[in-house]
Amino acid sequence: MTYHSSFDYECPKCGTHYAPFKKGIKCPKCGHESDETYPMAEEALHAWNYHVKLFGYGLPLAYAVLSLGDHYIYLTAVFLMEYFDEKPKDEDQFVEDFVKRMKFNGQEYLRPHFKQYFKHVLKLVHEKGVIRGSEDK
- Tell me the torsion sign for CA atoms 110, 93, 130, 75: positive
Measured between alpha carbons, how far is 87 from 81 in angstroms, rounded to an integer? 10
pTM of the model: 0.93
How many CB atoms neighbour CB 84 within 10 A?
Answer: 15
56 in a structural domain:
yes
121 in a structural domain:
yes
102 in a structural domain:
yes
Which residue(s) pair with 33 in the sheet?
Answer: 26
137 in a structural domain:
no
**Are the C-beta atoms of 87 and 22 separated by less than 8 Å?**
no
33 in a structural domain:
yes
103 in a structural domain:
yes
134 in a structural domain:
no
Domain of residue 56: give its range: 1-129
Q: What was the pLDDT predicted at 130?
A: 85
Q: What was the pLDDT predicted at 136?
A: 42
116 in a structural domain:
yes
Measured between alpha carbons, how far is 132 from 86 in angstroms, rounded to an integer? 13
- Who contacts 53 (Cβ-Cβ below 8 Å, separation ≥6)? 131
Entry field: residues in the chain:
137
| Residues of the chain predicted below pLDDT 70 | 134-137
Q: What was the pLDDT predicted at 50?
A: 97
Number of domains into which the chain is organized? 1
